[in-house]
Amino acid sequence: MDKKSVEKVIPWIALLVLGVFILLTISVVRTSLFGEVEGEKHIYFEIVFLLLLAVAGELLVTYTKQPSVMILMILGLLMSPGFLQLSWGFLHSLNLPFNLPTNPPDILRLETILTVFAQLGAVILLFKVGMHNKIERIFALDNLIVAIAGVVLPFAVGYLYASYAGGSFAYSMFVAAALTATSVGVTVAILKEFKLLKERFAEIIIGAAVLDDILGLLVLSFVINITGGSGENVAGSLAVTLLTAIVFLLGSVLTGKYFIEYLDKAEMSPKRFMLILAFVLFYAYFAEFIKLSAIVGAFMAGIILNQSKHHAEIEEKTYGLEMLFMPIFFISLGTLMDVNALADFFVPIMILTVLAIATKVVGCGVAGILAKLKSLEAAIVGFGMSPRGEVALIVASIGLTTKILNVSEYSIIATMALLTTLCTPPILQSLIAKREKEKVG
């Protein structure tokens, strides 16, 4: 065959190879979605799928002009097992001209992978927020007042409502404990997106949320001891919990000063950057180990590293981690939504969700006004403290695993937690836009 003939044949061979490759790709994706693939192999597909979902989320943010947090959570909801099951049943009822697989796509099979990525996303988010804060601004009196108001009112209202609705003492106490929680990750992401982290109301939200975590831990310890029926010294348990939290917060700051001194002795290097990551993750682990919350530990690490002369370099070098893990955190919150529970317990879930938002808005909002914030900024504080997210989910899961709560009671609390998280972004966006208009006017 001469050279000209070969040149004519090569494009057709390339086209054939491309066609075979496309068919093979479709086969791989179809099998990954509907077929049986070993768990170790499916991990790569899940990670790729989550990253592509995050890219789709960013494109939607560009076109819809909505907060990325809300878009990512909605995409996660669309990928949740409950929603896929419902939508697949609906598609089958349409009698489409082509055959659909019997079962819906099984995308996120390995919950451990999603959980780990999501936890890292939350840790990195709060670490980056800590990098923009000073320690003295977190433990201010105004923050403490907002935190206390955001715990006392929701606890009292939650317990009274659950008791009035016929719930058991144990269920009522867990509802009350779940309502005291604050998942600041969603709010912080929105404030960061609008570049408002330096505003006083944003600092109050962040500081109050950290203190709220400590108070919430004490409330959870109290509830577990009371409802567990152990009969042990509740006051002693609470005292130990409070003391542990104080020792961690103070000790982390004191120890962190020595770390900063060592870090700033030389220029940033790959070795020092790896030490920084180890430092952040160790603080997160330490806080999680003492049952305080990994995000509190990461936040404290960020506050400490804020004092380093390498602050700007640390910000730049951790940007890639932020882009990788944070979207998966918000997608994961959406996948946890149980649409079946929403249908089965619609009325109690809606009432509890309204109460959950209202008690934070009233309690934290009034406290914000007492802290001499403008009414609109106080409202932002109130709604900013409203998401319950993964913190309330942890409270509910503890009740379920200890068999203090049944599956139905767990579903009501868990769905309320996720609905408050889903409702917050559009409300905050509206309030922030209104505030910007007032400033311009």
Do 59 and 142 belong together in one domain? no
Q: pLDDT tens-digit profile of 271-291?
A: 888 999 999 999 989 988 887
Helix (H) or strand (E) holding 128: helix 111-130
Quote the pLDDT of residue 32: 77
Do 140 and 81 belong together in one domain? no
Average pLDDT, the chain: 82
Number of domains in the chain: 2
Do 188 and 304 belong together in one domain? yes
Do 164 and 32 belong together in one domain? no
Cα–Cα dist 168/159, whole Å: 10
Q: According to the per-residue pLDDT averaged within each range, which of 78-82, 254-258, 293-297 is highest? A: 254-258
With 0-12 CB in 10 A as exposed, 13-18 as middle and 19+ as buried, what is 242? Answer: middle
| pLDDT level of residue 235 (50, 70, 90 thresholds) | low
Q: pLDDT tens-digit profile of 322-364?
A: 888 878 877 877 777 777 777 788 899 999 999 999 999 999 9
Quote the pLDDT of residue 229: 52
Other CB atoms closer than 10 Å to residue 290's CB: what's the count? 16
Quote the pLDDT of residue 274: 92
Give start and end residues of each alpha helix (H) in 35-67.
39-64
Residue 182, C-beta contacts closer than 8 angstroms, at least 6 positions apart = 150, 208, 209, 212, 213, 216, 360, 385, 386, 387, 388, 391
Give start and end residues of each alpha helix (H) in 165-199.
169-180, 184-193
Do 416 and 279 belong together in one domain? yes
Asked if the structure places residue 48 within a domain, the reply is yes
Per the CB < 8 A criterion, the answer to whether 140 and 130 are in contact is no
Asked if the structure places residue 98 within a domain, the reply is no
With 0-12 CB in 10 A as exposed, 13-18 as middle and 19+ as buried, what is 291? Answer: middle
Instruction: Please give the residue range of the domain that contains residue 14.
Output: 3-93
Do 69 and 160 belong together in one domain? no
The closest of 159, 127, 180, 187 to 333, measured between CA atoms, is: 187
Cα–Cα dist 187/381, whole Å: 10
What CATH number should be reported for the domain holding residue 171?
1.20.1530.20
Cα–Cα dist 162/175, whole Å: 7
Asked if the structure places residue 40 within a domain, the reply is yes
Quote the pLDDT of residue 279: 93
Do 43 and 189 belong together in one domain? no
pLDDT at 62 over 70: yes
Minimum mean pLDDT range among 86-90, 196-200, 201-205, 229-233: 229-233
Q: pLDDT tens-digit profile of 103-157?
A: 788 777 767 777 787 788 878 877 887 787 676 667 778 888 998 998 899 999 9
pTM of the model: 0.69
Give start and end residues of each alpha helix (H) in 228-318.
234-263, 270-289, 294-305, 311-317
The closest of 202, 132, 196, 203 to 436, measured between CA atoms, is: 196
Quote the pLDDT of residue 6: 64
